[in-house]
């Protein structure tokens, strides 16, 4: 997936999930920006992605230790990101 498809998928997922509550992720640019940033976060494990280039040392280290599409593409990583303090 490319960065754009990660962002589109993230916005669709967040919009669908939040439709069960009173939260509208499309009501402010800040919510959209957070959704976009979090949706590309799993690709921090490769230096070829947008976020991997921005965080190159971290991306290189994760890629060397785990490879691509491993730890950052897991439900554990999803849960850890979801439980981060606000």
Note the pTM of the prediction, 2 decimals. 0.76
**What is the number of structural domains in the chain?**
1
In contact, 80 and 49? CB cutoff 8 Å: no
Mind listing the pLDDT tens digit for each residue in 28-71?
999 999 999 999 999 999 999 999 999 999 999 999 999 888 88
Domain coverage including residue 57: 3-82
Mind listing the pLDDT tens digit for each residue in 64-79?
999 888 889 888 888 8
């Amino acid at each position: 997936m490319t960065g754009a498809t990660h962002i589109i998928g993230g916005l669709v997922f967040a919009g669908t999930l939040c439709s069960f509550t009173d939260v509208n992720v499309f009501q402010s640019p800040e919510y959209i920006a957070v959704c976009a940033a979090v949706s590309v976060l799993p690709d921090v494990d490769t230096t070829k992605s947008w976020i991997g280039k921005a965080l190159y040392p971290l991306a290189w280290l994760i890629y060397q230790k785990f490879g691509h599409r491993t730890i950052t593409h897991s439900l554990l990583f999803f849960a850890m990101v979801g439980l981060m303090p606000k």
